[in-house]
Structure 1
Amino acid sequence: ERRDDGSWGKATNLGPPINTDADEVSPFIAADNMTLYFSSDGHPGLEGTDLYVTRLIRGQWQAPQNMGYPLNSAANDEFLTLAADGKTIYFASRRDGGEGGLDLYKAYPNPYPPQPVTVLSGKILEFGTREPLSMPIVIRDAETGTILRKQQSNAYTGEYILVLASGKTYSISTGEIPYLPDSLQLDLRVQERYDEQSYNFMLHREQPMQQLAVSVSANVLRSDFSLLEGAETVGGLTITEVQAGETIPLLNYVFFDHGSAQIPQRYVQLTKYTVVDYSIAALPDGALGKYHHVLNILGQRLQQQPELAVRLTGAVSEDEMQLGDLAGRRVQAVSQYLMDVWGIEAGRIEVTADGLPQNPSGSETPQGQAENRRVEILYRDGDNLEPINTTSMTRILKPAQCVFYPSIMSNAGVREWELAVAKEGSIQRIWRGQDSYPDSIVWNWQDAEGNVPRNESPLSFTLSATDIDGYSQTSQEHTIPVQFDSYTNTGSTSAGFVVDTFHLILFDFDQADVSRMNRQILDQVSERVTQQSRILIRGYSDEIGTAEYNRELAERRAEAVRQVLRVRHPNTPVVTEALGESELLYDNALPEGRFYCRTVRVIVETRR
């Protein structure tokens, strides 16, 4: 048992019914702290050491239960461990059919899962300064008041992590002199699955400030890699128009609502009379705007290229498996649209229907379920849809983003807050919240409609807050200068450069492998690289999962692309950035938005 000072007490033999006069080895206690897995050759079993499970009920370990075949074999089976959700088992075995000696095996689902747990994590911070604090954390049974355990937050970061088994209501408290205590109550009595939650404890000093104080500052971030080297910006935003090419792959999925085989209204659908005037050149800006025309882009390509044929595969989510031939009806809806509206012959459209997609998203979350409700589109030879290539005058923003740092100090506590950015008296963006406020707010310079500033009038920003007592205050107004340069494609060396942007979206859920289609896009990248080029690679992710994991995933995606380009262009300067979910490119409420966020952007700047 661990003492309050962090040291360990004397080890205690578990005794019967766990231990026998033979060998008990490789114990593993699950996150619920009540389910024990171990191996033994002293309990009734198959042969050798078998895997067993026992549970702690009312302070007593119950008789171990053999986990049975096929987890156990006639050889030694040992060293069981679990994934965080308790459903996936990893263990070692000497069973027949292995590579020799102990081999590692994986099993799913766990026939004897532990009690579900919730992982609560966050920081303990001083309310006014946001400085991290090292504080004791006490976890109690909220119904009985019994102290279940104590631990300390990290002395340098203020971070803590708690693993809480379901079946109880927990009271979690922290704070000691000179800080006032703070607490959180968490009801997990009916929690039936693994979950992760976050909460930051904001501790007030015992003599807090007696008034509401509101301030905000902005940091105009600079990247070490400048796409517009030579354009000078002092404490503000520079917008430069340049001739730019852009490659946007088409996501080869059409997503459907739960239980429905009707093509959602967000996909642009024409009639056989309006397709005559359809033009890809008139597609709206942005990847999602173009993607929502995917059925018409496909129909026009099939119409213009009679040698092409397409394969459509319908799929359903795990919670739609019992809804009949839903996958078949979905694929029929897409096929019928191509035939009725675009006049594509049935013989050029191959249709199949599956259960889950071949490369499904994780079914553990509602977002993953939604992403699996789809029809997949491939050409019959297995190729994806060709990307859309455009050339236009585009705006390059330097720096790429601005970060606001709000500060609100109040004795009574914050009821609501608002950060507003204006230009020429018109509101450009507003962020609002209640109770707590973020440490920082990242802005990509776009207004609510996705437009960036178009002239040199400065941007202004203010922070307003109202406390619990109803007292309101607004910060001093600050400004950000805007410089606007317009370069035309005259070929002069003063204008100086062409920028090409390539989007690589074909990363599956939680994957970082460079697919065949992405390699084809990288072939196009190579065609634009000369001795006068520089390359910037930016990795992104969706918002599913933790911010730290998503940044690491974005870093792996960017690095995979860099490795390919480094081989092809060993003497070209290349810089990578892993932004993860810190800059969400698209609306993550839609499955296509999440897929388009699983991207790497490759930007090639070439001097004329």
Structure 2
Amino acid sequence: MLLQYKMIKRAILLSAIVVLSQVAAQAQVTQPTWWWGLSGAANFNFYDGTTQTLNSSLMVPTAFHKGFGIKPYGSVLVEYRPAGIWGIMLNVGYDGRGGKFNDVVAPCNCDATLHTDAAYVAVEPSLRLAVPASNLYFFAGPRLAFNIQNGFSYTQVKQLNTNGELSNMRKTLVSGQVGVGYEIPLASATNPNKINLSPFVSYQPYFGQAPRSIESWQVTTIRAGIALKFGKGHKKVVEIPAAAIVPVAVDVTFSVRAPKAVPLKRQVSETLPLLNAVFFDDGANTIPDRYIALNKAQADNFKEEQLQEEQSVTMSGRSARQLNVYHNILNILGDRMRTNPGTTISLTGAPAGDGKIMAESIKMYLTDTFGINGSRITTLARKKPANPSEQPGGNKELVLLRAEDRRVDIASTSPELLMEVGGGMMKPVHINTMQTDPLDSYVVLNVDGAKKQLNSWSINATDDRSVTQHYGPFTNDQESISGIAMIGNNPEGNYKITMTGETKNGTTITKENTVHLIRQDAAIQKGLRYSVVFDFDKAIGIASYNKLLTDIVSPLITDGSTVIVHGHTDIIGEEDYNQKLSDSRAQQTQKVLESSLSATGKNNVKFETLGFGEDINHSPFENALPEERFYNRTVVIDIIPTNK
């Protein structure tokens, strides 16, 4: 949704006329100070530690460690909210902490399972902090839990099936929680009888949540639920002098940038950079299944060039073709080393404990499958990668960042394997692909100042036949609409673009513009694509790509071409920060290219530079895998030649 390349324009609207001498009487309803209600939720319980002695009569032969369960939570609640942002909450209710441990293998070589049914009466007082001018609130406080249920069910396949009570259960637990909620009013603003629906999420770490006084079983809980709250406000009449009602000037401008012709698809020759890393799953030292593994016969016939041509099999998902090429990284590496017998590599795994084993698993694949001499491959291990994603002092989204640091980095001094284009990336692969709905087919809408001054804005596009298409609502300064979707099957058309916005003070503004679109479906236009991939949270890396941009990309840009530079980030971090980061990456790339083009006398080149931030509607890849997030930290350069 984010297209935040801002055009430098401002226009000031007329202010409303202030009538002095009048007095407006306005009825208001105060918010309740006291609230009562009920809540229901699901406890997502994560088990850790060790459990083996179930009670005095049963010690199972194999210890259980990790586990998971979803159990109910229900409470009655009361809240005290005096004027201001702070308040007090109290929940008292049933708190299910049961679950199932991960199955283990008993000495009989048979599966053993353990279910627990721990439950408590929980008393949870919390401090409530509301976000000003918002329905969002945060809460934090202690949790006092009284054990009421401690049953278990143990099964050892074909040998034992027993139920019982866990021994040494602590009668009382003292722990804590933090959470966030959102108030959704169900009653009108003028009704003194208030009803709120409040979805909430809380996090209750393992501190103080060891259920037993023996062994080391720990429980961490994430609770997600909804509360129904009731309160009673009071009506009052407030007299507001009209002279005190000061109109707020709304300072937004509206412009539209549309392509002269809307291409339906384009054949693209893409130079795809290859990440010089293989990412391993948490707790595993073997190469993940998503990386394509060949047998020896298949490896004998594998050539990197097989990945370059357009695939006949349709691949689903965003950038599936490019990700498939990357997931052949070990086969590409094996083919390059086999073709260039003088090359050597080093494999460095992290973290240190598992890194050596991870590196050795890659070495074994290359030696066994591709016949690479083991003396050409050095394996190392270190605590963290040379360029880690997790930075010292960081405390947010550590699970995603640490997943990116569980990897084996590939390094080499051989130019046949790696290319000095920033960060020692693997030498890129050239692939041919068909790009549908290309970026230059989009209609770009700029509502400069919208994010600060409008609650939302929408677009109506009306063609010559008075058929109207609606888009929105939007909240950012810049958005884009597919030109293909707008023009449909029409060969061309004139469109009146009407922007309607709701201002922060509740008024409505309307602005208009016009565009003319022409459908281009006669010939498939050919283009070139290059990518620049960044380390986590880095924008300054463009300098290391200067040689690529000036020596390789710039000479391919002909006079009259259009160059689309679009920057992206992954989903880690704040949305606004990621938007600025993608803008910086894209703009720095444009500056390097412009300088190189100017030095060679090419001045008739049009740039369209856009920053999409973490916008999932435009990001090149998904964000589920570490390699997808790496590839989303990118600037993509599309070179569209002049139509002839």
- TM-score, length-normalised on structure 1? 0.51
User: How far off its partner does 1:280 sit?
Assistant: 2.6
Query: Structure 1 residues 223, 550: CA separation in 2 closer, same or farther (over 3 Å shift)?
Result: farther
Q: Secondary structure at the match of 2:612?
A: strand
Superposition pairs for residues 571-582 of structure 1, below 5 Å? Answer: 571=603, 572-582=605-615
Q: Which residue of 2 aligns with 1:386?
A: 427
Preserved CA contact (<8 Å) 1:140 1:172: no
Preserved CA contact (<8 Å) 1:331 1:351: yes
Paired with 1:521 and 1:197, the residues of 2 have a C-alpha distance of: 49
**Equivalent in 272, 276, 291 of residue 296 of structure 2:** 272
- Partner letter of residue 330 of structure 1? M
Preserved CA contact (<8 Å) 1:268 1:292: yes
Preserved CA contact (<8 Å) 2:200 2:224: no
Preserved CA contact (<8 Å) 1:308 1:348: yes
Q: Deviations over 1:156-191 (max 9, x none)?
A: xx5767585774677968565357544455645648
Paired with 2:589 and 2:562, the residues of 1 have a C-alpha distance of: 15
Larger gyration radius, structure 1 or structure 2: 2
Q: Deviations over 1:221-253 (max 9, x none)?
A: x99666xx4325xxxxx513x443211100111
Preserved CA contact (<8 Å) 1:315 1:374: yes
Paired with 2:135 and 2:290, the residues of 1 have a C-alpha distance of: 42
RCO higher in structure (CA 8 A, sep ≥6): 2
Query: Structure 1 residues 557, 173: CA separation in 2 closer, same or farther (over 3 Å shift)?
Result: closer
Q: Which residue of 1 aligns with 2:568?
A: 540
Preserved CA contact (<8 Å) 2:345 2:412: yes
- Partner letter of residue 239 of structure 1? L
Superposition pairs for residues 449-598 of structure 1, below 5 Å? Answer: 485-488=521-524, 498-505=526-533, 507-514=534-541, 518-523=545-550, 524-570=552-598, 571=603, 572-583=605-616, 584-598=619-633
- Partner letter of residue 512 of structure 1? A
User: How far off its partner does 1:296 sit?
Assistant: 0.6
Query: Structure 1 residues 162, 286: CA separation in 2 closer, same or farther (over 3 Å shift)?
Result: same
Q: Secondary structure at the match of 1:386?
A: strand
User: How far off its partner does 1:330 sit?
Assistant: 0.9
Paired with 1:197 and 1:561, the residues of 2 have a C-alpha distance of: 44
Preserved CA contact (<8 Å) 2:139 2:180: no
Paired with 1:516 and 1:292, the residues of 2 have a C-alpha distance of: 28
Mean CA deviation greater in 556-565 or 288-297: 556-565
Query: Structure 1 residues 294, 203: CA separation in 2 closer, same or farther (over 3 Å shift)?
Result: farther
**Equivalent in 329, 353, 357 of residue 294 of structure 1:** 329
Q: Secondary structure at the match of 1:308?
A: coil
Q: Which residue of 1 aligns with 2:343?
A: 308
User: How far off its partner does 1:501 sit?
Assistant: 1.3
**Equivalent in 397, 418, 433 of residue 438 of structure 2:** 397
Superposition pairs for residues 29-44 of structure 1, below 5 Å? Answer: none
Preserved CA contact (<8 Å) 2:296 2:370: yes
User: How far off its partner does 1:456 sit?
Assistant: 5.8
Paired with 2:583 and 2:226, the residues of 1 have a C-alpha distance of: 27
Q: Secondary structure at the match of 1:565?
A: helix
1:177 pairs with 2:190: yes
Superposition pairs for residues 48-87 of structure 1, below 5 Å? Answer: none
**Equivalent in 248, 260, 264 of residue 230 of structure 1:** 260
Q: Which residue of 1 aligns with 2:375?
A: 347
Preserved CA contact (<8 Å) 1:225 1:575: no
- TM-score, length-normalised on structure 2? 0.49
Paired with 1:201 and 1:398, the residues of 2 have a C-alpha distance of: 44
Paired with 2:363 and 2:206, the residues of 1 have a C-alpha distance of: 43
**Equivalent in 311, 320, 327 of residue 355 of structure 2:** 327
Paired with 2:195 and 2:298, the residues of 1 have a C-alpha distance of: 68
Query: Structure 1 residues 200, 337: CA separation in 2 closer, same or farther (over 3 Å shift)?
Result: same
Q: Deviations over 1:345-388 (max 9, x none)?
A: 22322222111111111275211111111110122357431111
Q: Which residue of 2 aligns with 1:34?
A: none
- Partner letter of residue 262 of structure 1? T
Preserved CA contact (<8 Å) 1:384 1:517: no
Q: Secondary structure at the match of 1:553?
A: helix
Paired with 1:516 and 1:304, the residues of 2 have a C-alpha distance of: 32
Paired with 1:190 and 1:277, the residues of 2 have a C-alpha distance of: 53
Q: Deviations over 1:113-160 (max 9, x none)?
A: xxxxxxxxxxxxxxxxxxxxxx97663232599995775633xxx576
Paired with 1:538 and 1:498, the residues of 2 have a C-alpha distance of: 19
Query: Structure 1 residues 192, 580: CA separation in 2 closer, same or farther (over 3 Å shift)?
Result: farther
User: How far off its partner does 1:256 sit?
Assistant: 1.0
Q: Secondary structure at the match of 1:514?
A: helix
Q: Deviations over 1:309-330 (max 9, x none)?
A: 22211112xxxx6xx4x21111
- Partner letter of residue 283 of structure 2? G
- Partner letter of residue 538 of structure 2? Q
Paired with 1:392 and 1:146, the residues of 2 have a C-alpha distance of: 59
Q: Which residue of 2 aligns with 1:153?
A: 132
- Partner letter of residue 537 of structure 2? D
Q: Secondary structure at the match of 1:366?
A: helix
Paired with 2:223 and 2:590, the residues of 1 have a C-alpha distance of: 35
1:251 pairs with 2:275: yes
Q: Which residue of 1 aligns with 2:264?
A: 239
Paired with 2:355 and 2:298, the residues of 1 have a C-alpha distance of: 29
Q: Which residue of 2 aligns with 1:10?
A: none
Q: Which residue of 2 aligns with 1:96?
A: none
* Gaps in structure 1 of 5+ consecutive residues: 6-134, 207-221, 233-237, 404-436, 446-451, 459-480, 489-496
**Equivalent in 336, 359, 362 of residue 364 of structure 2:** 336
Higher percent of residues as strand = 2
Query: Structure 1 residues 278, 173: CA separation in 2 closer, same or farther (over 3 Å shift)?
Result: closer
Q: Which residue of 1 aligns with 2:9?
A: none
Preserved CA contact (<8 Å) 1:141 1:171: no
How many correspondences in the alignment?
369
- Partner letter of residue 260 of structure 2? G
Q: Which residue of 2 aligns with 1:219?
A: none
- Partner letter of residue 343 of structure 1? G
Paired with 2:182 and 2:292, the residues of 1 have a C-alpha distance of: 53
- Partner letter of residue 141 of structure 1? M
- Percent identity over the alignment is 28
Paired with 2:261 and 2:330, the residues of 1 have a C-alpha distance of: 42
Preserved CA contact (<8 Å) 1:538 1:601: yes
Query: Structure 1 residues 444, 253: CA separation in 2 closer, same or farther (over 3 Å shift)?
Result: farther
Root-mean-square deviation (Å): 4.7
Q: Which residue of 1 aligns with 2:285?
A: 261
- Partner letter of residue 300 of structure 1? D
Paired with 2:131 and 2:431, the residues of 1 have a C-alpha distance of: 56
Preserved CA contact (<8 Å) 2:542 2:588: no
Q: Deviations over 1:437-471 (max 9, x none)?
A: 9989x9998xxxxxx9xx9699xxxxxxxxxxxxx
- Partner letter of residue 536 of structure 2? F
